[in-house]
């Protein structure tokens, strides 16, 4: 197939999403390399991201670009090839999120350097969706998210709280300081472990560097924020069973996770290679199947639109702080990180992916659970 034919096919695909190469609207892309068209048509989403990292194209508003192509369902218009089909079959039966591989995500993403996250995130270093209902800045929105979680858990002084995937320790510290909880938090990132341990000094908070499958003990409350995305479909049931085993009979479990509208066994190829290796977004069906017979669903709250705002705030912080980062990261990393934050914002804005907080109990809250928003 000739280059002009390939170019025509790609342009027609973009035009179906109201994107016109080399026009001047914010979501139109500017092509700098004529080989862009054949590269993207042959390589799909991976090639689209890599060609951006290589400087082959630009866009004034990447988030709007991705909102456009997501709403137009461009991915559905590109037929899968045999190579992709064979990968799907392998992933359906291969467990890529084993305990042996659990620490790989930390090496690839969470251990990129504390300065990066200190500049990009809020002061508490919360790397998950903020709650913007009554907030107009990232700092307040993240604080409101922490309070929302603690209130949904009906957290009270003296309760033992398990935080699965505690990150830099913000929720554990907040629960101990403001709700009197005795907290155990686990993470697979050494960088997160060091900071969380340092910040939690003097509080009833214990941070452990370990995988969730090694958890022991019983807790009045269990919470997991932004970690289930790394568990993998073949491990969902084991994960829920572990949370069940760690929870007291009258306890509550809150799961905070990004969710997909469809059930998948793999993630986007570019995200998998450069951002979150072997991570998969769960669907409603996959989650409910995983906790079936173990838990009763008390509440299911979707505020995915808030992740759009969160990601754009992170991108703004990242761009404003780039002068302090560029000595440690090159231009390709800068483009990669902007692409990551903007593409995810576009997906949330188009409502292709969601953010769920799910409250679960073993036997049902007596008299019924009062949902909080």
CB burial of 330-355 (b: ≥16 within 10 Å; e: otherwise) equals eeebbbbbbbbbbbbbbbbbbebbbb
Quote the radius of gyration of the chain (alpha carbons, Å). 21
Residues belonging to the active site: 344
Alpha helices in the chain (DSSP H): 3-15, 36-53, 62-71, 74-77, 82-93, 104-105, 114-120, 138-152, 170-179, 190-199, 236-246, 269-274, 284-291, 305-320, 322-325, 331-349
Burial (0-12, 13-18, 19+ Cβ within 10 Å), 172: buried
Strand partners, 131: none
Secondary structure (3-state) at 229: helix
Long-range contacts of 268-273 (CB under 8 A, 24+ apart): 268/45, 269/44, 269/45, 269/46, 270/45, 270/46, 270/48, 270/49, 270/50, 271/340, 273/46
Q: Could you give the CA distance from residue 21 to residue 135 in angstroms, rounded to a whole number?
A: 37
Contacts of 138 (CB under 8 A, 6+ apart): 121, 122, 130, 310, 313, 314, 317
């Amino acid at each position: 197939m000739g280059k002009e034919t390939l170019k025509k096919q790609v342009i027609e695909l973009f035009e179906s999403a109201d994107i016109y190469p080399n026009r001047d609207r914010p979501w139109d892309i500017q092509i700098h390399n004529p080989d862009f068209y054949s590269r993207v048509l042959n390589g799909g989403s991976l090639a689209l991201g890599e060609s951006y990292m290589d400087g082959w194209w630009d866009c004034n508003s990447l988030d709007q670009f991705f909102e456009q192509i997501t709403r137009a369902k461009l991915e559905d218009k590109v037929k899968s090839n045999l190579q992709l089909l064979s990968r799907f079959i392998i992933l359906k039966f291969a467990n890529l999120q084993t305990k042996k591989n659990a620490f790989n995500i930390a090496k690839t993403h969470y251990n990129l350097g504390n300065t990066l996250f200190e500049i990009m995130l809020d002061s508490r270093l919360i790397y998950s969706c903020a709650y913007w209902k009554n907030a107009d800045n990232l700092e307040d929105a993240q604080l409101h998210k922490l309070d929302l979680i603690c209130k949904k858990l009906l957290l009270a002084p003296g309760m033992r709280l398990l935080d699965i995937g505690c990150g830099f320790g913000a929720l554990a510290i907040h629960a101990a300081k403001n709700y009197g909880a005795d907290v155990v938090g686990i993470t697979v990132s050494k960088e997160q472990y060091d900071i969380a341990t340092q910040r939690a000094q003097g509080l009833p908070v214990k941070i452990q560097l370990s995988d969730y499958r090694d958890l022991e003990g019983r807790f009045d409350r269990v919470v997991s924020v932004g970690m289930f995305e790394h568990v993998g479909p073949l491990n969902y049931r084991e994960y829920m069973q572990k949370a069940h085993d760690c929870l007291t009979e009258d306890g509550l479990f809150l799961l905070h996770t990004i969710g997909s509208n469809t059930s998948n066994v793999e993630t986007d190829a570019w995200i998998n290679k450069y951002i979150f290796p072997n991570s998969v977004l769960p669907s409603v069906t996959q989650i409910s199947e995983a906790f079936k017979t173990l838990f009763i669903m008390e509440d299911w709250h979707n505020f995915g639109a808030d992740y759009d705002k969160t990601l754009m705030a992170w991108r703004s912080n990242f761009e404003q702080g780039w002068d302090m980062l560029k000595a440690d990261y090159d231009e390709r990393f800068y483009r990669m990180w902007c692409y990551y934050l903007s593409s995810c914002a576009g997906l949330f804005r188009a409502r292709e992916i969601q953010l769920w907080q799910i409250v679960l109990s073993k036997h049902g809250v007596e008299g019924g659970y009062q949902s909080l928003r």
